[in-house]
Structure 1
């Protein structure tokens, strides 16, 4: 069956197009031609299609689904790149069009589900990569023209993500340092090597635990807040109003949050390192009798500047990942409260996953470089 799409498929002609599509469905699509292989085939001829906007693309998606539901194989030869890009964007722009596979039985059902899951993750990775590219391009242009940057908003988010996060980050880092010192002491005492608990605490906190614990806490605290804030604005159609006024949501919402977190997470990491070492020193004094003077003297002997900077260099990367994931999921929220909660949860999970993944990649890189 050949379907010729002509003229302007835009919002101005949406009512006429919708009537035509309803008439096509009423007339019945079952009377189409069957190919030699037994499958019905529908061809979209868009050679005479002039203009296409989001409303027209949504109608095309509707027609596309009706055909697929009736068992058609869809072919779209010689489509303009911009038309195909808009169509693909509408198809993949939200969870509302995500079709979960039907639960199958046995091995074939499991294989089908795993195949769908793989395609889902590939599609999500492609969208997130495109979002990173868009943010990077906007950040470069904003750096060239700093007048576009919302510095007041950035300072506000620095206070929210940095200053107000100091108590919880400091407390948990202090407790983790105490736990590590206690656990290390209980094992090292068996070999008479109590003094090496200082090496254990210093290296593990400065290289790994300080920045990793801080990033995970900020992912749960600030990354989720980014998603909830932007998602609520999406539900209230504030972002649509921004675009109507000619404002770029990436400049207004994403960049201030990302720059604020990139600047504050290294400071939080430094604070977490100090609190972790203080907690470890206190527990070493209590459990092993290593007084703080001896503890920090030994720490000065075994810790080189490189150990400190290996942990600190990860902080801006983790901050950018957390901010990007939080803002990306917020911009994907639909017009319902359930979507806000679901994508906020997904934001936290994805942020923590990416932080741990990149921490592993950093460890491999530093091992290769012998750092």
Structure 2
């Protein structure tokens, strides 16, 4: 028969803690624990115990721990073995972790950003290395991978890039032209449009569109491969996932970005021409002449260099977020969102740097 006694802050458990010996134990113990301060529990008086007795012991300990901390005097070795075997540690409430202070939260965020930056730099180094190696070892690449990625990441984006560029050129020419016409300066609309589109707007808008379209696709593909353990399978076959998954996309977007920027410039000019000819009394011939006057080889070179750098940023950030995915489908979605946001921010900051350096 199981029993107990309480003396000077110590709860002594005694007798047989078996299925047949646990009758009427709970009510008496509950009353003692609620009305007395239990500082120690002595298990040395337990003669026998089974799984039912161990469950009762877990419940007793749970009740005591709810009132405060307690010291334990272990049972005899043969009894303690049974307790250790059948006791469920999940019954014992864990201490609630302390909420980190604002300084600790800032430190954790800085540490996360620092670690992520190191991983991104390492990934960028691997991408540039294998991209250069792959140029001279084309036979080691998957046949047709470059062409396939050029179509998927570049040519399939041409309709949306051209359409949005046309609308943007139309709107900007309309807003600028109406104001300049009030000062009889509508003739300068081609100059403004040509310089703005080539130097800033077309590369920036094209990169943002591709960050949302192609960058998200790259992240989703790599993240899904990571979740499905396909990346691990490539490593098990001694295949570098950066070389065989990322580098074809890197080459493809580096080639297609200048082409898409060119089409963006032409489409935006087409929208501006429509406004200039129909509302600003600027003929097509005058528009083309003045547009070409303000452009030189330097402006075009800066535009294409900028577009290639934007393409590199999109691929590196997209691949980095894809390789860092955690969890399942929700993790893939979160990585894709972070990829698009980070790519757009990086593109805008890079564009600001180019604007300051190449005034």
Within 2, Cα distance between the matches of 1:112 and 1:103? 6
- Aligned pairs for 1:346-357 within 5 A: 346-357=338-349
**Pairing partner for 1:187 from 168, 179, 183:** 179
1:272 aligns with 2:264: yes
Structure 1 partner of 2:118? 126
Structure 1 partner of 2:190? 198
Within 2, Cα distance between the matches of 1:304 and 1:314? 16
Within 2, Cα distance between the matches of 1:239 and 1:275? 40
8 Å CA contact 1:151–1:256 kept in 2: the answer is no
1:250 aligns with 2:242: yes
Within 2, Cα distance between the matches of 1:333 and 1:121? 15
8 Å CA contact 1:148–1:251 kept in 2: the answer is no
**Pairing partner for 1:342 from 323, 326, 334:** 334
Q: Which moved more, 1:325-334 or 1:352-361?
A: 325-334
Within 1, Cα distance between the matches of 2:197 and 2:110? 36
1:302 aligns with 2:297: no
Structure 1 partner of 2:303? 311
Deviation at 1:151, TM superposition (A): 4.4
Within 2, Cα distance between the matches of 1:292 and 1:117? 55
Name the CA shift for 1:289/1:135 in 2 (closer, same or farther; >3 Å): same
Deviation at 1:115, TM superposition (A): 3.8
Q: Residues 215-269 of structure 1, C-alpha deviation per residue, up to 9 Å, x if partnerless?
A: 0000000000001111111121111111112211111101011101001111000
Within 1, Cα distance between the matches of 2:195 and 2:215? 28
Structure 2 partner of 1:163? 155
Deviation at 1:315, TM superposition (A): 1.1
Structure 2 partner of 1:230? 222
Within 2, Cα distance between the matches of 1:278 and 1:144? 40
Structure 2 partner of 1:218? 210
8 Å CA contact 2:257–2:307 kept in 1: the answer is yes
Unaligned 5+ runs, structure 1: 1-68, 71-98
Within 1, Cα distance between the matches of 2:227 and 2:140? 26
Helix, strand or coil: the match of 2:182? Answer: helix
1:259 aligns with 2:251: yes
Q: Which moved more, 1:309-318 or 1:339-348?
A: 309-318
Helix, strand or coil: the match of 2:239? Answer: coil
Structure 1 partner of 2:168? 176
Within 1, Cα distance between the matches of 2:174 and 2:230? 51
Q: TM-score of the superposition, structure 2-length normalised?
A: 0.70
Deviation at 1:166, TM superposition (A): 0.7
8 Å CA contact 1:201–1:277 kept in 2: the answer is yes
Q: TM-score of the superposition, structure 1-length normalised?
A: 0.67
Q: Which moved more, 1:136-145 or 1:315-324?
A: 136-145
Two-structure CA RMSD over aligned residues (Å): 2.1
Within 1, Cα distance between the matches of 2:134 and 2:198? 34
Deviation at 1:300, TM superposition (A): 2.3
Within 2, Cα distance between the matches of 1:363 and 1:257? 27
Name the CA shift for 1:308/1:140 in 2 (closer, same or farther; >3 Å): closer
Within 2, Cα distance between the matches of 1:273 and 1:162? 16
- Paired residues in the alignment total 265
Within 2, Cα distance between the matches of 1:311 and 1:352? 18
Within 2, Cα distance between the matches of 1:229 and 1:301? 45
Helix, strand or coil: the match of 2:335? Answer: helix
Instruction: Report the structure number with the largest CA radius of gyration.
Output: 2
Name the CA shift for 1:188/1:102 in 2 (closer, same or farther; >3 Å): farther
Helix, strand or coil: the match of 1:247? Answer: coil
Deviation at 1:102, TM superposition (A): 4.1
